Amino acid sequence: MAQDRLPSRSLSHSEAEIELGAAEPLAADEADSFASTQISSPTRDAWRRFRRNKAAIIGLTVIVLMMIMAVFAPFMHTSDPTVPDPNVINGGPSPIHWFGTDYVGRDGYSRIVYGLRVPLIVGFIGTAITVIIGTLVGLIAGYVGRTIDSLLSRFTDIMFAFPGFILALIVVSLFGAAADSFGMGGAGRVLLLTVVFAAVGWPPLMRFVRSLALTMKEQQFVEAARTAGSRDWGIMRRHLLPNMWGLVLVQGAFIVVATISNETILSIFGLTVQQPNPDLGSMLFFGVQNIDNSYWQVVFPGVVLAILILALTFLADGIRDAVDPRARG
Amino acid sequence: MRIARRLLNSALALSLAATFAISAHGVSSARQAPAGMPTIRLGYLENNPQWAPTLDPAVVEDQNSSYLTQLLYGGLINIKQVGGRVVPYPQLASRYKVTGSGKIYTFSLRKTGFANGDPLTAQDVVFSIRRALSKQTNSPINTYDSMIKGFANYSAGKSSYLGVKALNARTVQFTLSVRAGFFPEVLAYPLNFILDAKVMRGTSTNSGGTYLTTTCKAAAAGASGPFKAVCHSSAANDVTSFYPGGSTPTLTLVPNSHFYQKAHVRLVIPAIDSNQTGLRDFRSGGLDETFGVPTQDQATYRGKPGAYQFPTAFIEYLGMNVNDPPFSNVHCRLAVAYAIDRVTLAKKYLHGAYKPLYSFVPGGFQGYFNGHSGVPYYDPAKARQQLAKCPGGINVTYVYRNDTTDRNAEAAAITAMLATVGIHFTPKGVPRSEWLNYIARDTPLSKTHTAACYGDWFEDYPDSQDYFYNLLYGGVAENFSGYNNKTFNKLIDEADAAANQSTRARLYLRANKMMLNQAPVVPYDNGTAFDLVNTKKVHGLIPDNYRAVTWAKNNDWANVS
Amino acid sequence: MALLTFTVRRFLAMILILWIVLTIVFAMARLSPYDPIAQIMQQHYQVAQAAQIRHEFGLDQPMWKQYLNYVGGLLHGDLGKSESQQTLGQPVWSLLQHGVPVTMKLGFYALVLSLVVGLPVGLLSAIKQNSFVDHGSQAIMMVLYAVPVFVLVPLAQVVIGVQLRWLPVTGWGAPGVLGFKEAILPVTLYAAGLTGYFAKSYRSFLLEVLSQDYIRTARAKGLKARIILYIHAVKNTLVPLASIVGPVVAYLITGAFVIETFFGIPGIGYITVESIFNSDYSVIEATTLLLAAFVVLVNFLTDVVYALVDPRVRL
């Protein structure tokens, strides 16, 4: 068996992963183990593996804590994050202002607590949308095939050709100020960023899901379902999706990391949420300009951002290892 | 990331640069400075990755180009700083006299030469002025010279007459259509700088200034000022003639040995990306001079040797839409004018990088007044009184350009100050490109239904008229508040026509104070320039208010070592 | 033959994709609420002259005609004319031409540096899996990967350039040794994140190969066999390594923007960021097109290479 699968190693990494994920249960049992009632078994296995992964658990904890902070920011902050104070401009860390203050004397800690909302919203909601789009398009293209596949694949190729970051850069620089006019407190800009990153993130995932679907539809359990008279949509929903959601989740986790990094990179060109609204990225944007004499304006938001990205990476790695144990070795 | 170092708000560019095939003449230029000549690295250039927009003096309208052309070319008149004052002095002219009841200016030329050895002649002057104002050159700023007789028809290409002629090889006469006391200052603008007619005529034509701008030969051979360019390639017709393509734009200058004031330093002027990087470069030893020390870093250097802070003509103000409620009501406007604490704003929020301002023109300009006697100033009690007379209160959006930390800090501070007296401003930061729509394109503010907007100004030419007429005269496009007051307009008209400088000053002062009490605009600060010079190595660079940078003492680079 | 058909088909698709990309970019720039003319005229807006400039740029023509002009120009290699005040009317290509080699050089240096450092670290980690070396190096690589480059850059500039005065913090390509000195800091910081990514990915690729049964069995056979095996395993990681070309290219492009902007390096990233500030959308359009062409080309080449390796892809 192992020998037979050797040639597949010369496929791309993602396709290799596909085989691993899809073939594992197949190799273990006969086809009917894929009946939807028994799907929980690999899920439970994955969860068991995940719980044993310390780094992943730490990552998950950190992210949950950050989300709680962001959601309950009104109860967590120490002073109003938008009100300037001329007496503590560029103040260093102190018992009152734990993380120092910014260029107009606003409290760094409070701004971070509120400012976490932006990367979290853009990262998670943007990714959720991207995952939905990518999975749906990929599934339909891969399963239905033929003309629809060609059309969707070519469309994806087009989207794929745009360097995602550049597209986001252009859209936000062209339409950012217009978006600010909608919604108070920078909500318009956040919405725009979310939509933009959702729009640029899905093509790789679509290709991934498409090849998963291509592989799976040839397999016995799908054939069996088809012969039994299940309709296409039903097959996709009951047989394909449950078998790929773990792998999709892994991809999704990595997309969150990429989205949050890209969103904060846009901020150094001054393109994310505008003043006076708090945002981690814009704190860095202004902090970087002031780094020669007020290092804390970069270090605190920078460290928080680095922790967030590290935690997400740990989590993503953990999910991958749990869902797809062989990828780890 | 990027902080605009540019203070100058340049005028409009009209001409489309046309490219001309220029045959490559061999130009021998000194690539090596004479041994022992010290090199000074100056941080004058804000990095526009494309090089200074132009090196053609006739179309200069930005700071970068202005600095470089002032080093390369001279004018009949130039400007130097004596004490704190900015004074015109004859540069390429040795002297001049005014006759014909102020309408005829006669200049005698100095014995000086172009970098290639050609002596300066009256024909060069006539050529340069006629070229600068011609229809072909299509200079966006040629209206500065509109007082020269025949200007309108000549610049439109309808007539060949222009009121400038050579009386003999060393004498030039200008005839003006109106009396203009500020004509010498106008001649000091790069528009009227002198080019070598022989060098220029050797080129096919030069409507967009391409030859002057992108061909180093012109700046190496035809320089009439203290320096000439060192070329990277004498064959190329683009920026690579100045510096290797793909490297940081850098201009290297050596003294023009035929200029009457002989410099003895070599200048290297690399483009600097931002105030931050300029400062870092200076601190790491890469620059001997940097200008525009970031606001937050100024306190570190203030008072240290080689640190110079000096006033500029840059003003910032808040403009209100006088055509629509709430600011159609003078009490509402005055409430705002009384609620802004200029001192806290300038000293604390802006770290002393700006000075509190109550007058609408900066210090040194006619009509300026020190302090705040007779005009609105910070007084919360009065602000509340005025607000009580403002029907419906004030709850509006405040548009400002958010491209620098300073602008954002000002908006945050103003919003907070107004809030304490009960005026509610919602700040809306927009990029500079969009801000221009509010203050220049779709003016007045009533057109965009905007109640209040940030405004700033830097002189196009050093005269109060530039501020009062452009920004407050009824119906002028740049007047975004929409202020239109007959008395004010009349005072400005009178001051314009007045030949006597003290009369002009009196009229402008009256107009200034009268307008401020109606508060269509609230000026709140005046920018300063903050430069660092490595005084251990460089001598003779002093703050220059006119050029808003540290510059050679008396505009004489022989003083710099 | 199948390979040839495949290549031709892919090539035609590439052209089609580029055409659609440029159409989208064109539409976005024209739909944007910004007005390049207002930017050109700065604080002195004059209606008549604005109309004249609009006319000279052909911006007063109907949209379809502007589009045809744009596409027609592109076919003649004309990327358009600059619409910013400083460089008004200059061909966009003349602005970008010197930047392209700079960006490529910078990216190439960074790529080489990160491969040279990242792959051996990943290899070492995989061989010494779960050892102190593994955990230590992976922790460092993880930090390099996770700390945003724009936090790293100003810190490095302040500490290394300003405090220690070891390296210059700005300038690019000045002739002589100086040019090399100026490149050290930007290239190192550019490569930092990529090094972390390579080390991390390469470790897992190698572990994946090493975990296969036949290798596991062979691994037990002794040192000499193990060395042979490692060589074999490294060979087998080449293809999965090719699969991260996409993310690496994306990283290089993003990094170019950040590094060039921070260090004032006159590459296309920096030129584009400047043109965003100047609302010079003709430059932004051109850069997007160039980068999209680059990405499409890389994808095309990757596809062809895969097709060479694995005939099944050619279908």
Average pLDDT over residues C141-147: 84
C-alpha distances out from residue C186 to B250, C113, C168, Å? 20, 12, 10
Residues from chain C that touch A159, judged by Cβ atoms under 8 A, are: none
Beta carbons of B195 and B57 less than 8 angstroms apart: yes
* Average pLDDT over chain B, rounded to an integer: 86
Return the partners of chain C (3 or more C-beta pairs < 8 Å): A, B
Residue C263 near chain B (CB below 8 Å):
yes
Q: What is the pLDDT of residues A91-123, one digit of tens each?
A: 999 999 999 999 999 999 999 999 999 999 999
Q: How far is it, in rounded angstroms, from Cα C54 to Cα C88?
A: 12
Q: How far is it, in rounded angstroms, from Cα A285 to Cα B316?
A: 24
3-state secondary structure of B11: coil
pLDDT at B553 over 60: yes
Residues from chain B that touch A86, judged by Cβ atoms under 8 A, are: 344, 348-349, 413
Average pLDDT over residues A298-319: 89
Nearest residue in chain B measured CA to CA from C167: B284
The pLDDT confidence band at residue B12, using thresholds 50, 70 and 90, is very low
The answer to whether the CB atoms of A298 and C33 lie below 8 A apart is no
Whether omega before B444 lies within 30 degrees of 0, making that bond cis, reads yes
Q: What is the pLDDT of residues B404-454, one digit of tens each?
A: 899 999 999 999 999 999 999 999 988 888 899 999 999 899 999 999 999
User: What own/partner pairs with CB < 8 Å and gap ≥ 24 does A297-302 have?
Assistant: A297/A90, A297/A100, A297/A102, A297/A103, A297/A108, A298/C151, A298/C154, A298/C155, A300/A99, A300/A100, A300/A108, A300/A109, A300/A112, A301/A108, A301/A112, A301/A115, A302/C147, A302/C148, A302/C151
Nearest by CB to B13, from C40, C162, C175: name it.
C40
The answer to whether the CB atoms of A84 and B349 lie below 8 A apart is yes
Beta carbons of C313 and C300 less than 8 angstroms apart: no
Q: How far is it, in rounded angstroms, from Cα B499 to Cα A205?
A: 75
Residue B413 near chain A (CB below 8 Å):
yes
Mutate to test the interface with C, among A63, A162, A208, A211 (most CBs of C within 10 A): A162
Residues from chain C that touch B457, judged by Cβ atoms under 8 A, are: 43
Q: What is the pLDDT of residue C76?
A: 87
Q: What is the pLDDT of residues A228-257, one digit of tens each?
A: 777 778 888 787 888 888 889 988 998 998
CA torsion, ordered C108, C109, C110, C111, to nearest 10 deg = 50
pLDDT at C253 over 50: yes
Buried b (16+ CB within 10 A) or exposed e, B239-269: bbbbbbbbbbbbbbbbbbebbbbebebbbbb
User: What own/partner pairs with CB < 8 Å and gap ≥ 24 does B432-435 have?
Assistant: B432/B4, B432/B401, B432/B403, B432/C277, B433/C34, B433/C35, B433/C38, B433/C39, B433/C277, B433/C278, B433/C279, B434/A177, B434/C33, B434/C34, B435/B399, B435/B400, B435/B401
Residues from chain C that touch A12, judged by Cβ atoms under 8 A, are: 239-240, 242-243, 306
The answer to whether the CB atoms of A288 and B294 lie below 8 A apart is no
Residue B443 near chain C (CB below 8 Å):
yes
Nearest by CB to B294, from A268, A270, A289: name it.
A289
Nearest CA of chain C to the CA of B476: how many Å? 10
Domains and CATH numbers, chain B: 10-273+534-559 (3.40.190.10), 311-528 (3.10.105.10)
Nearest residue in chain B measured CA to CA from C88: B16
Nearest by CB to A286, from B279, B405, B429: name it.
B405
Return the partners of chain A (3 or more C-beta pairs < 8 Å): B, C
User: How many CA within 13 A on the CB side of residue B95?
Assistant: 1
Which CATH code, of 3.20.20.140, 1.10.3720.10, 3.40.718.10, 3.40.50.300, is assigned to C99-266?
1.10.3720.10
Beta carbons of A67 and A256 less than 8 angstroms apart: no
Q: What is the pLDDT of residue C58?
A: 84
Residues from chain B that touch C81, judged by Cβ atoms under 8 A, are: 16
**Contacts with C, A 135-164, CB within 8 Å:** 154, 157-158, 160-164
A302 within a domain of the structure (yes/no)? yes
Whole-model pTM?
0.83
Residue B94 near chain C (CB below 8 Å):
no
Average pLDDT over residues C119-124: 90
Nearest by CB to C17, from A158, A167, A265: name it.
A158
The answer to whether the CB atoms of B244 and C270 lie below 8 A apart is no
Q: What is the pLDDT of residue C177?
A: 42
Phi, psi values for residue C157, rounded to 5°: -60, -45
The answer to whether the CB atoms of C148 and A164 lie below 8 A apart is no
C-alpha distances out from residue A8 to A13, A15, A20, Å? 10, 8, 10
Nearest residue in chain A measured CA to CA from B435: A177
| CATH number, domain with residue A165 | 1.10.3720.10
The answer to whether the CB atoms of C175 and B16 lie below 8 A apart is no
Nearest CA of chain C to the CA of B415: how many Å? 25
The answer to whether the CB atoms of A329 and C253 lie below 8 A apart is no
Q: How far is it, in rounded angstroms, from Cα B248 to Cα B50?
A: 9
Nearest residue in chain B measured CA to CA from C264: B273
A160 within a domain of the structure (yes/no)? yes
Residue B424 near chain A (CB below 8 Å):
no
The answer to whether the CB atoms of C296 and A161 lie below 8 A apart is yes
Q: What is the pLDDT of residue A129?
A: 95
The pLDDT confidence band at residue A16, using thresholds 50, 70 and 90, is very low
Average pLDDT over residues B7-21: 27
The pLDDT confidence band at residue A28, using thresholds 50, 70 and 90, is very low
pLDDT at B319 over 90: yes
**Contacts with C, B 285-304, CB within 8 Å:** 285-286
A175 within a domain of the structure (yes/no)? yes
Beta carbons of C122 and C199 less than 8 angstroms apart: yes
pLDDT at B5 over 50: no
Q: What are the DSSP E strand ranges found in chain C?
A: none
Residues from chain A that touch C210, judged by Cβ atoms under 8 A, are: 329
Return the partners of chain B (3 or more C-beta pairs < 8 Å): A, C
Q: Which of B352-366, C87-101, C102-116, C187-201 has the weakest average pLDDT?
A: C87-101
The answer to whether the CB atoms of B1 and C85 lie below 8 A apart is no
Beta bridge partners of B522: B318
The per-type count for chain C, helices as H runs and strands as E runs, is: 15, 0
Q: Which domain holds residue A150?
A: 55-78+106-323
Nearest by CB to B12, from C42, C158, C172: name it.
C42
The answer to whether the CB atoms of B285 and C174 lie below 8 A apart is no
How many separate domains does chain A show? Answer: 1
Average pLDDT over residues B514-536: 94
Question: Domain locations in chain C?
Answer: 1-83+279-315, 99-266
Nearest CA of chain A to the CA of B283: how many Å? 11
Nearest CA of chain B to the CA of C114: how many Å? 24
Nearest CA of chain C to the CA of A37: how many Å? 31
Nearest residue in chain C measured CA to CA from B274: C264
C-alpha distances out from residue B5 to B290, B517, B531, C117, C272, Å? 11, 33, 12, 39, 19
Average pLDDT over residues C162-191: 74
Nearest CA of chain B to the CA of C140: how many Å? 28
C-alpha distances out from residue B182 to B462, B503, C44, Å? 9, 14, 21
pLDDT at A183 over 80: no
Beta bridge partners of B88: B79
For residues B204 and A288, the model is more confident at A288
Residues from chain B that touch A84, judged by Cβ atoms under 8 A, are: 349, 409, 412-413, 416
CB atoms near residue A5 (< 10 Å) = 15
pLDDT at B104 over 90: yes
Residues from chain A that touch C141, judged by Cβ atoms under 8 A, are: none
Average pLDDT over residues C165-184: 67
Residue B521 near chain A (CB below 8 Å):
no
DSSP annotation of B144: G
Mutate to test the interface with C, among A174, A206, A260, A308 (most CBs of C within 10 A): A174
Bridging pattern class, strands B424-430 and B395-401: parallel
The answer to whether the CB atoms of B47 and C264 lie below 8 A apart is yes
Residues from chain A that touch C158, judged by Cβ atoms under 8 A, are: 291-292, 295
